[in-house]
Structure 1
Amino acid sequence: MTFTFRIRGRRRIREANQARDARLWAQAAALYEAHVKRRPRDVAVVVQLANCLKEAGEHAKSLSFYERAIELSPTDADVFLQRGHLFKLMNRRADALASYRTALKHDADNPHAFRELLGMGEYDDLPIDDTVTTDEAVNTIWLDITDLIEYAKHNRSFSGIQRVVANLVRFAAQQAPGAFRVVPVVPDYARLRVLAVPIERVQALIDLFDTPRVERKTIDKAILAVYTSRYKVVPTARDAVVIAGAFWIYPHYDVIARLRKNGVRFGVFVHDLIPIKYPEYVHHGAIVDFQNKWVEVLGVTDFVLTNSEYVASEVKAYLNDTLTFDVPVKAVPLATELRERTASPDIVDPAIVDVCRHPFVLCVCTLEVRKNHLYLVKVWQRLRERFGENAPKLVFVGKWGWDVEELQLYLETLGCLDDWLHIFNGISDGALEYLYERCLFTAYVSFAEGFGLPIGESLVHGKPCIASSTTSMPEVGGRFARYVDPYDLDDGFRVFEQTLADRTGLEAWRDDIRQHFSPRTWNAFCADFYRCVETFHAEFEGAPAALNCVLPSAKIVRGGESAIAHLAATRARIVTFDAARCTGWSQMEKWGVWSVNSVATLEFGSDLEAGSDIQIYLRLRRPAGKTSTRLTVRCADTVESFRLAVHDTFIAFSGVVDADRRIRIELNVRRRGSDADVGVGFIALTAIAYFAKPQHATSLLTGTD
């Protein structure tokens, strides 16, 4: 009889597995459950039963069997992982996070649990060393690598921005950059804390991105090693914090504002202002996000570094034309040196080998509207009319990007793909080297760039480049490139036609590059970068942090992203009170800000002379449902009290511009009884205005701001 049961049990499991593989979840669950009734301690089948019940939508029953599996095998990481998936389906976020963390506890290398935590944005809850580390005797550059880590979570190769951060880390790991040590940090901006990481862990992650065909799980394991090695630090007045990656991905910069009050200097490295200067080439949502974060980061910045002189000039113009304060700006041009690579694999794509049997011109960049590929296609149509079959082929290398429908439709209509035009996506570094070595020359006719790295890479390979004459590109190519107007097809045809018609001149151009072009190395860039940070820090030593918030008199000034978006859309000077928050405030919201302490302070610069008597107006409201909010306001020697309404209302009080032409305001909120417990905040601030006495503000304050 026992033998018969075993035979039936195996047959039932086989049938259950077949139903599971056919995604017949209810049928599979019934078969697994029949087996579990006879063998309740068969943990593997209990888990399969729970999985099938989960997929069949029987969540409560599924959970009961996951709990049974945990009782049978309390250290099985996969059970906790699967239970976490179930909790996600049940919208039990906290329970899902707890399950994923337990899975990692039992299997520290479990990439699935780690990726779930990353996907839920909870990597900051991974264990950290809470022992606060600081060394006031050592000058430190805290290099923010947040962007590099975020990019690594979703990619297996670095873009240009992340490559900059990667080289800064490598340089710092290999040698002392100067009077300052360099420590990578991944600040927890939401919790207002700075978390450092051993530089060896970061370099190990970076090295993976130069490994051909690296597996996703290998990268995830390296990211986990970075996060689990974090430890708290407290930067001091001897230090500087620098962001060299994408500054627009951060939720806010309140932790930086707090550090600056303690004497820490903050700098940001800017790669371009394309979303602001050339919005036609960027998705609208990205423009708004970039604009908001750009204004916010400038509000807490001591100095700006840029990747080219051109971008430096754009930043200076923006500060002068759009804001009410100034920040020192210095260009640190990027490297054009090729990065070192591990041995490249053999070329496996026969299409690339076949293309290289014919003369061709190479264009390496993302296929998106800003890169102007359609211009090259139209020029090539005319070149084929001029040279016939002797015209070289055109090769595009890059992934498909944004707003390319017009290009794709044009190519489909033209029917030139895999004839005289070839497009390759996601090729290996070895394949790209193969193309560079065999092309006649390269083309890079982008409408706008912050730097233009493909121009430098072409020259490093000893290949001429025909590039755009706009923005920063002539700065990169110098006399070694030739230039076209990217808006003028006739100009483009003329330059390309002359180059192809004079092959002797083309060879002489190549020889000139090989003999005289000297690439800028990554070591040179990194040394200059850190030297500039040290120089700015020395210039600021002993001086209070600049107040990057000057509010004009006789004007209503709002705060938050909505105010920035409105002013940017109307091309008005962007003035908000965001950076006037001194102490006791939460992060900015779209409409303004809540105070989070009973005492909150504001501080901003004035365009009036020191000692001027002023009338100040704050538009405030109390939380809904609270009736006993009493506010005391102090400015200079004036103290006044108010009762706040539940809707936005201006309060008015007197003040004086301080000797340093700043206005300082303290707001003290008192509540009684149950009203003291308010979750949302103490008071909401939505606008600030002030006037030199005896100016009258009635018409302005009752009008539309």
Structure 2
Amino acid sequence: MSTLFLDISRLVLRLHSGLRPTGIDRVGLAYIERYRERARAIVSLRGFSGSLSPSESQHAFDLLLASTRKRDALRRIAMRACINGMRGQYDKRSILLHTSHNGMEYPRYYGAMAKRQIRSVFMVHDLIPMTHAEYCRPGIDAAHRKRIHTALRLADGLIMNSTATLDTLTDEAHRADLRVPPGVVAHLAPGNTPHAPGARPIDAPYFVMLGTIEPRKNHWFMLHVWRRLVERLGAAAPKLVVIGHRGWESENTFDMLDRCMHLQDTVIEESDCSDERLAAWLHHARALLFPSFVEGYGMPIIEALAMHVPVIASDIPVFREIAGDTPDFLDPLDGPGWLARIEAYAKHESIERDAQRARIAAFRTPTWHEHFAHVDRFLETLA
């Protein structure tokens, strides 16, 4: 059995900063839970890497998986890895598993692993900064292209979260005349630990949007839909609960949230939502709304369907891939369509909502057991 190394750099940085885990972070935590007994931790910065001893690694994994973050202890762990460097003896069958995009762009990182005969396996979550730069921060397209191209040239293996991501990656490799390393597609399971749903947060009917507020998530569009709902229904309009911190390039959305008087009593913003509170919001919602223009996966859809909560989502290929025909799908710019569907789902007795709930009964939620079965078989071919 090969020794595994888990790169925990992004997790240490974000959790030390007091940030709540995003979807990518939750994947990293799932990998720690799965492989911790046979793994050692690596921390990297700008391509320079350091490993922790087996005992230090177990301590780091405990800290990252704990419900309460010990920020000073996380900082000490990172410093310890920097001091250690990549010293020591390494099993020639060792494999590095890196589940975030951070650091993929530095050839010296791959070189340090190759020098010790450690095979480098990276997870590719999406190519959105390259394919849809208009939704991202300026300059991130060039940075992400460097990450992806470096991984295509130097990685020993890749893990993709969806066939849609693999197809986009393959297209980019052909365009850039680069090889596609050996890889595997493994769908992601719900990232949240199951929680009892708890009491209903508010009495009024409401819908939930879940995710960082950024342009591709289409919050601005949905807020205009909600303004029209308020104009038509007044106090009877359902509430919209926006869960996620404020991101980038979304000043128009922030203006709507902060200054639109029509939305002040109707839109609820939850920028720092615990897993327990998120479970309560989702469980009692009329539906999860997911009007994104582009995604690499769409974990909130899986999380909602796993809780038997209906989903109304953009009609994009990756959502069809991971959820089949279970949700209701709409064009992300079909204002009248979204308006009509939300009004229908908001009714106490909703034929449309009941029909989806019947479909949800047949939906099979992806599991981490299945994900890691695919990954383990792939890793065996490398080792």
Q: TM-score range by the shorter chain?
A: 0.7 to 0.9
Residue of structure 1 equivalent to 2:271:
425
Q: 1:510/1:139 Cα in 2 relative to 1: closer, same or farther (>3 Å)?
A: same
Alpha-carbon distance in 1 for matches of 2:61, 2:333: 42
Alpha-carbon distance in 2 for matches of 1:153, 1:250: 21
SS class of match (1:479): coil
Q: Does residue 509 of the first structure (1) align with residue 356 of the second (2)?
A: yes
Q: Does residue 241 of the first structure (1) align with residue 96 of the second (2)?
A: yes
Residue of structure 1 equivalent to 2:34:
171
Q: Does residue 310 of the first structure (1) align with residue 156 of the second (2)?
A: no
SS class of match (1:466): strand
Structure 1 residue 409 displacement after superposition: 2.8
- Which of the numbers 181, 197, 205 marks the counterpart of 2:63? 205
Aligned residue type for 1:274: I
Q: Does residue 436 of the first structure (1) align with residue 282 of the second (2)?
A: yes
**233-242 vs 463-472, which deviates more?**
233-242
CA contact (8 A) 2:42 2:49 kept: no
- Which of the numbers 206, 217, 220 marks the counterpart of 2:72? 220
Q: How does 1:57-72 map to 2 (within 5 A)?
A: none
Encode CA deviations 1:23-72: one digit per residue, 9 max, x unaligned: xxxxxxxxxxxxxxxxxxxxxxxxxxxxxxxxxxxxxxxxxxxxxxxxxx
Encode CA deviations 1:428-470: one digit per residue, 9 max, x unaligned: 2222222122211110111111111111111122110101112
Residue of structure 2 equivalent to 1:360:
206
Aligned residue type for 2:40: V
Residue of structure 2 equivalent to 1:184:
41
Encode CA deviations 1:131-162: one digit per residue, 9 max, x unaligned: xxxxxxx5223222222222223134221112
CA contact (8 A) 2:5 2:41 kept: yes
Alpha-carbon distance in 2 for matches of 1:386, 1:189: 53
CA contact (8 A) 1:275 1:286 kept: yes
SS class of match (2:203): coil
Structure 1 residue 387 displacement after superposition: 4.7
Alpha-carbon distance in 1 for matches of 2:334, 2:59: 49
Aligned residue type for 1:325: R
SS class of match (1:509): helix
Alpha-carbon distance in 1 for matches of 2:234, 2:46: 60
SS class of match (2:255): helix
Between 1 and 2, higher relative CO (CA 8 Å, sep ≥ 6) is seen in 2
Q: Does residue 147 of the first structure (1) align with residue 10 of the second (2)?
A: yes
Aligned residue type for 1:207: L
SS class of match (1:158): coil
Matched length: 378
Q: Does residue 467 of the first structure (1) align with residue 321 of the second (2)?
A: no
Structure whose alpha-carbon radius of gyration is higher: 1
SS class of match (2:241): strand
Q: 1:366/1:170 Cα in 2 relative to 1: closer, same or farther (>3 Å)?
A: same
Encode CA deviations 1:278-322: one digit per residue, 9 max, x unaligned: 100111132222222222232211222111111111111111112
Encode CA deviations 1:108-144: one digit per residue, 9 max, x unaligned: xxxxxxxxxxxxxxxxxxxxxxxxxxxxxx5223222
- Which of the numbers 260, 270, 277 marks the counterpart of 2:131? 277
Q: 1:326/1:506 Cα in 2 relative to 1: closer, same or farther (>3 Å)?
A: closer
- Which of the numbers 282, 285, 289 marks the counterpart of 2:143? 289
CA contact (8 A) 2:43 2:50 kept: no
Alpha-carbon distance in 2 for matches of 1:290, 1:405: 23
Q: How does 1:271-670 map to 2 (within 5 A)?
A: 271-336=125-190, 338-340=192-194, 353=201, 356-384=202-230, 387-411=233-257, 414-500=260-346, 503-513=350-360, 515-535=361-381, 537=382
Q: 1:220/1:473 Cα in 2 relative to 1: closer, same or farther (>3 Å)?
A: farther
Aligned residue type for 2:28: V
CA contact (8 A) 2:104 2:148 kept: no
Alpha-carbon distance in 2 for matches of 1:188, 1:236: 23
CA contact (8 A) 2:8 2:42 kept: yes
Alpha-carbon distance in 2 for matches of 1:191, 1:360: 48
| Runs (5+) with no aligned partner, structure 1 | 1-137, 175-180, 539-705
Alpha-carbon distance in 1 for matches of 2:313, 2:186: 22
Q: 1:259/1:368 Cα in 2 relative to 1: closer, same or farther (>3 Å)?
A: closer
Structure 1 residue 508 displacement after superposition: 4.1
Alpha-carbon distance in 2 for matches of 1:191, 1:445: 39
Alpha-carbon distance in 2 for matches of 1:308, 1:261: 31
Q: How does 1:123-162 map to 2 (within 5 A)?
A: 139-162=2-25
Structure 1 residue 187 displacement after superposition: 5.0
Residue of structure 2 equivalent to 1:582:
none
Structure 1 residue 186 displacement after superposition: 2.6
Encode CA deviations 1:255-296: one digit per residue, 9 max, x unaligned: 423543665432210111110011001111322222222222
Alpha-carbon distance in 2 for matches of 1:339, 1:245: 20
Residue of structure 2 equivalent to 1:41:
none
CA contact (8 A) 1:188 1:195 kept: no
Aligned residue type for 1:326: V
Aligned residue type for 2:61: Q
Alpha-carbon distance in 2 for matches of 1:410, 1:192: 43
Q: Does residue 232 of the first structure (1) align with residue 50 of the second (2)?
A: no
CA contact (8 A) 1:192 1:254 kept: no
Structure 1 residue 480 displacement after superposition: 1.8
CA contact (8 A) 1:468 1:474 kept: no
Alpha-carbon distance in 2 for matches of 1:312, 1:234: 35
Alpha-carbon distance in 2 for matches of 1:422, 1:259: 47
SS class of match (2:87): strand
Structure 1 residue 184 displacement after superposition: 2.6
Aligned residue type for 1:182: A
Alpha-carbon distance in 1 for matches of 2:40, 2:286: 44
Q: 1:391/1:295 Cα in 2 relative to 1: closer, same or farther (>3 Å)?
A: same
Alpha-carbon distance in 1 for matches of 2:267, 2:250: 16
SS class of match (1:459): helix
CA contact (8 A) 2:101 2:147 kept: no
CA contact (8 A) 1:466 1:482 kept: yes
Q: 1:475/1:336 Cα in 2 relative to 1: closer, same or farther (>3 Å)?
A: farther
Alpha-carbon distance in 1 for matches of 2:120, 2:113: 9
CA contact (8 A) 1:188 1:194 kept: no
